[in-house]
């Protein structure tokens, strides 16, 4: 039959199924192929909170959403145009995110009575007309997969695990994506298991051929490449970018990189990634607990390495005392917090921004540290590199905040030229003459970094208060007051060494939207859409949170209203209100999900219409 080809500027697809249905692999393969074709994109992997949730249940659904197009893409999309549902639970959980008139590709085998009951359906939605507002394509993916592999004598378990590639093949056909990239990936991954490789490739091709020959699919869609700046790109997640940023920082600092850590979702991938960079002298230490991980990193820093510890909010709670030790001994340390839903174990696979106050204030005593936050997956590279620069130059621990959305999400990343990255090499103290551990640089107030074993530079460090200059233990009230103020002054002085804040849009106006972290894409898109309607609204996204850029107060005072959207109950809002005495407006949604563009647009428009509550 004749099939038509239709051009689209952008589209959002969501793959959904049981956590064992391979939806993350399917989404990742579609994403990598889409990046290869030159489209701009943003993704949102959505994992179940439980590792082994019962099959077919609502809380066992795993999803992967990709928004791609020929235009600039900043978010994974508010709602999807196409939902690939591998079972009834996947449909029920994700149906509310499908646009009216959107398409559903349903695996009919996932809608048997058992699945319907587990999902809470009293009747089959594929048969009861409840989906009439959507285009529903019923495909028995499970059966078609079995037919494609019936001559290979594979176990039912192995056959079932390949059905995600049948769905992938159909989507490749529908959106004019080539199969070659995924075929190469399968061949490499299953090099030692040729039967498994052949099965996946055969099913992938079967899905494509089915879509090509069946009468139910009549339209193919073409999305042209995006007009991205020239250069060499790769698709990258936030955790991968963070790992690469650390390796780049170590190379540019001419230091060995040491990671002392303990696995925790969603930060563990940084450990996995860095363990593959041994050729760069990277040392990764998986400790027995969070405390051992961070204290090992402090020891590595004392020994002259670029030291890092990675975790999420619960791990930061355990590391708190040791971070205070790093403040007291004034050694460089990068602390990466990939934030997740809390408190306690909370929502381990969901995103949140609720650790900001913990990063800025969460230690005993006066223990100030710089805090910076990444805004996109690719920006994680530059943010952690900047954290290393500050840590080395100012001899201090530095918090680098990302979150679950950034860590697992991906985007096309313009690979930087290493020669364009600055040299951040430290100047170790080598001259023993007149050496005193707490002599400070007049400009930065940083003490000198002396490596143990260097003749004449023997010195003590520890958690007890230090005497100014000598570093001897000292309990005198006046000395403690002086040291507390010196440490605080050192951190405040970093404001002289960071870029001024830049406003996207007009420098003055009716409304400024201030954000930080992973809210960047949703805020920028909402602001641009509102500005396109002729409204006076601008966007300021903060990378540096402690200290703030020197001109932040001046910018805030230039606007009638300031809106601060956060995926917490108003933590940046509290800090800015306290420091600048500006009656900012908080907008706070804490659902374990990133903001949607439309909800931010609605909030912006309500403020512009006079509702400032």
Q: Which pLDDT score is estimated for 212?
A: 95
State the alpha helices, DSSP H only, in 412-512. Answer: 477-493
Q: Which pLDDT score is estimated for 191?
A: 95
Q: What angle do CA 392, 421, 548 make, to 5 degrees?
A: 55
Q: Which pLDDT score is estimated for 386?
A: 98
CATH of the domain at 126: 3.40.920.10
Q: Do 253 and 375 sit in the same domain of this protein?
A: yes
144-199, pLDDT tens digit by residue?
999 999 999 999 999 999 999 999 999 999 999 999 999 999 999 999 999 999 99
Q: Are strands 537-542 and 10-18 parallel, antiparallel or unpaired?
A: unpaired
Q: Are 212 and 171 in contact (CB under 8 A)?
A: no
In a domain, 306, yes or no: yes
CATH of the domain at 305: 3.40.50.970
Q: Take residue 19 and report the two structure tokens written for it.
A: 């956590």
Q: Do 81 and 48 sit in the same domain of this protein?
A: yes
Q: What is the mean pLDDT of the chain?
A: 96
Question: Which of 246, 298, 297 is closest to 270 using CA atoms?
Answer: 246
Q: Do 169 and 285 sit in the same domain of this protein?
A: no
Q: Do 36 and 115 sit in the same domain of this protein?
A: yes
Question: Which of 275, 273, 235 is closest to 40 using CA atoms?
Answer: 235
In a domain, 44, yes or no: yes
> How many Å from the N-terminal Cα to the C-terminal Cα in the chain?
58
Q: Which pLDDT score is estimated for 577?
A: 98
Q: Are 368 and 356 in contact (CB under 8 A)?
A: no
Q: Average pLDDT, stretch 346-367?
A: 97
In a domain, 77, yes or no: yes
**Can you give the residue range of the structural domain that contains 290?**
234-420
Handedness of CA 104, 109, 113, 115 (dihedral sign): negative
Q: Do 210 and 260 sit in the same domain of this protein?
A: no
Q: Buried (b) or exposed (e) across 69-100, using 16+ Cβ within 10 A? A: bbeebbbbbbbbbbbbbbbbbbbbbbbebbbe
To the question of pTM greater than 0.85 for the whole model, the response is yes
537-585, pLDDT tens digit by residue?
999 999 999 999 999 999 999 999 999 999 999 999 999 999 999 999 9
Q: Do 253 and 377 sit in the same domain of this protein?
A: yes
Question: Which of 417, 333, 338 is closest to 374 using CA atoms?
Answer: 338
Q: Which pLDDT score is estimated for 3?
A: 86
205-259, pLDDT tens digit by residue?
999 999 999 999 999 999 999 999 999 999 999 999 999 999 999 999 999 999 9
Q: Do 246 and 205 sit in the same domain of this protein?
A: no
Instruction: Tell me the DSSP string of 450-462.
Output: --TTSTT------
Sorting pLDDT into bands at 50, 70 and 90, what band is 437? very high
Residue whose tokens read 């512009």: 608
* Three-state secondary structure call for residue 142: helix
**Residue 212 φ/ψ, nearest 5 degrees:** -70, -35
Instruction: Tell me the DSSP string of 515-550.
Output: EEGGGHHHHHHHHHHHHTTT--EEEEEESEEESPPT
Q: Do 243 and 140 sit in the same domain of this protein?
A: no
Q: Which pLDDT score is estimated for 35?
A: 95
Q: Are 567 and 573 in contact (CB under 8 A)?
A: no
Q: Do 202 and 328 sit in the same domain of this protein?
A: no
In a domain, 460, yes or no: no
Q: Do 78 and 113 sit in the same domain of this protein?
A: yes
In a domain, 498, yes or no: no
Q: Take residue 431 and report the two structure tokens written for it.
A: 């001259």
Q: How many domains does the chain have?
A: 3
Enter the DSSP assignment of 112. S
Which element (helix H / strand E) includes 107?
Answer: strand 98-107
Instruction: Tell me the DSSP string of 250-317.
Output: HHHHT--EEEEE---TTTHHHHHHHTT-GGGT-EEEE-SSHHHHHHHHHHHHHTT-EEEEEE-HHHHH
Q: Which pLDDT score is estimated for 49?
A: 79
Q: Do 320 and 238 sit in the same domain of this protein?
A: yes
| Residue where a domain terminates, one of 378, 402, 420 | 420
Question: Which of 368, 322, 395 is closest to 546 using CA atoms?
Answer: 368
CATH of the domain at 569: 3.40.50.920
| Residue where a domain terminates, one of 163, 192, 222 | 222
Residue partners of 490: CB distance under 8 A and separation at least 6: 394, 396, 440, 444, 445, 446
Residue partners of 290: CB distance under 8 A and separation at least 6: 262, 264, 311, 315, 318, 319
Q: Take residue 33 and report the two structure tokens written for it.
A: 């192929």
In a domain, 495, yes or no: no
Asked whether the predicted pLDDT for residue 586 surpasses 90, the reply is yes
**Distance (Å, whole) CA 399 – CA 323:** 10
Asked whether the predicted pLDDT for residue 50 surpasses 80, the reply is no
In a domain, 426, yes or no: no
Handedness of CA 319, 312, 572, 612 (dihedral sign): negative
Sheet holding 333-339, edge to edge: 283-286, 257-261, 306-311, 333-339, 397-403, 371-373, 544-546
Asked whether the predicted pLDDT for residue 353 surpasses 70, the reply is yes
* Three-state secondary structure call for residue 222: strand
Q: Average pLDDT, stretch 602-613?
A: 93
Q: Take residue 378 and report the two structure tokens written for it.
A: 């690719």
Give the CA distances from residue 394 to residues 490, 491, 611, in Å, rounded to whole numbers and listed in that order: 7, 8, 44
Question: Which of 460, 458, 437 is closest to 449 using CA atoms?
Answer: 437
Q: Take residue 529 and report the two structure tokens written for it.
A: 């859409």
| Residue where a domain terminates, one of 420, 436, 468 | 420
Q: Do 153 and 261 sit in the same domain of this protein?
A: no
Q: What angle do CA 28, 105, 41 make, to 5 degrees?
A: 35
Give the CA distances from residue 375 to residues 48, 409, 505, in Å, rounded to whole numbers and listed in that order: 24, 12, 18
Asked whether the predicted pLDDT for residue 1 surpasses 70, the reply is no
Question: Which of 526, 564, 558 is closest to 542 using CA atoms?
Answer: 564
């Amino acid at each position: 039959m004749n099939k038509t080809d239709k051009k689209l500027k952008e589209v959002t697809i969501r793959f959904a199924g049981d956590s064992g249905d391979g939806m993350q692999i399917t989404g990742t393969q579609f994403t990598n192929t889409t990046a290869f074709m030159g489209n701009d994109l943003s993704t949102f992997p959505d994992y179940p909170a439980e590792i082994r949730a019962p099959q077919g249940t609502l809380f066992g659904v795993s999803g992967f959403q990709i928004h791609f197009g020929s235009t600039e893409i900043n978010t994974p999309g508010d709602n999807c145009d196409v939902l690939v549902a591998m079972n009834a639970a996947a449909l029920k959980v994700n149906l509310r995110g499908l646009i009216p008139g959107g398409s559903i590709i349903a695996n009919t085998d996932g809608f048997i009575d058992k699945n319907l009951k587990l999902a809470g359906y009293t009747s089959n939605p594929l048969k009861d007309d409840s989906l009439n507002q959507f285009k529903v394509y019923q495909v028995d993916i499970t059966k078609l997969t079995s037919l494609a592999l019936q001559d290979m004598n594979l176990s039912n378990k192995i056959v079932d695990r390949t059905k995600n590639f049948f769905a992938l093949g159909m989507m490749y056909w529908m959106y004019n994506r080539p199969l070659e990239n995924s075929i190469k990936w399968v061949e490499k991954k299953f090099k030692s298991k040729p039967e498994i490789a052949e099965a996946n490739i055969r099913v992938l091709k079967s899905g494509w051929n089915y879509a090509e020959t069946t009468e139910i699919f009549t339209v193919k869609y073409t999305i042209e490449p995006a007009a991205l700046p020239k250069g060499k790109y790769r698709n990258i997640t936030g955790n991968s970018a963070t790992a690469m940023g650390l390796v780049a920082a170590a190379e540019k600092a001419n230091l060995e990189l040491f990671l002392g850590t303990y696995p925790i979702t969603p930060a563990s991938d940084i450990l996995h990634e860095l363990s593959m960079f041994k050729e760069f002298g990277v040392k990764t230490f998986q400790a027995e607990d969070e405390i051992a991980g961070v204290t090992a990193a402090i020891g590595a820093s004392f020994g002259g390495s670029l030291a890092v510890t990675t975790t999420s909010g619960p791990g930061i709670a355990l590391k708190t005392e040791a971070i205070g030790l790093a403040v007291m001994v004034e050694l460089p340390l990068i602390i990466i917090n990939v934030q997740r839903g809390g408190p306690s174990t909370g929502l381990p696979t969901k995103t949140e921004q609720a650790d900001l106050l913990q990063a800025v204030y969460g230690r005993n005593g006066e223990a100030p540290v710089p805090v910076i936050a990444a805004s996109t997956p690719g920006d994680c590279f530059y943010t952690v590199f900047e954290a290393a620069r500050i840590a080395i130059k100012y001899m201090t621990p530095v918090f680098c905040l990302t979150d679950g959305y950034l860590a697992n999400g991906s985007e096309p990343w313009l690979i930087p030229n290493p020669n364009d990255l600055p040299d951040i090499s430290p100047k170790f103290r080598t001259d023993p003459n007149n050496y005193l551990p707490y002599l400070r640089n007049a400009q930065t107030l940083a003490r000198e970094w002396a490596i143990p074993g260097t003749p004449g530079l023997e010195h003590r460090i520890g958690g007890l208060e230090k005497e100014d200059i000598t570093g001897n233990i000292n309990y005198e009230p006046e000395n403690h007051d002086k040291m507390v103020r010196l440490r605080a002054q050192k951190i405040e002085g970093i404001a002289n060494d960071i870029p001024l804040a830049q406003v996207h849009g007009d420098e003055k106006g009716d409304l400024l939207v201030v954000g930080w972290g992973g809210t960047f894409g949703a805020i920028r898109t909402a602001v641009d859409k509102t500005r396109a309607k002729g409204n006076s609204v601008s966007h300021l996204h903060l990378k540096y949170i402690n200290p703030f850029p020197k001109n932040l107060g001046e910018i805030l005072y230039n606007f009638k209203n300031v809106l601060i959207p956060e995926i917490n109950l108003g933590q940046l809002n509290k800090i800015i209100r306290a420091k600048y005495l500006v009656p900012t407006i908080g907008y706070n949604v804490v659902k374990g999900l990133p903001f949607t563009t439309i909800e931010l647009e609605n909030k912006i428009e309500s403020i512009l219409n006079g509702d400032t509550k």
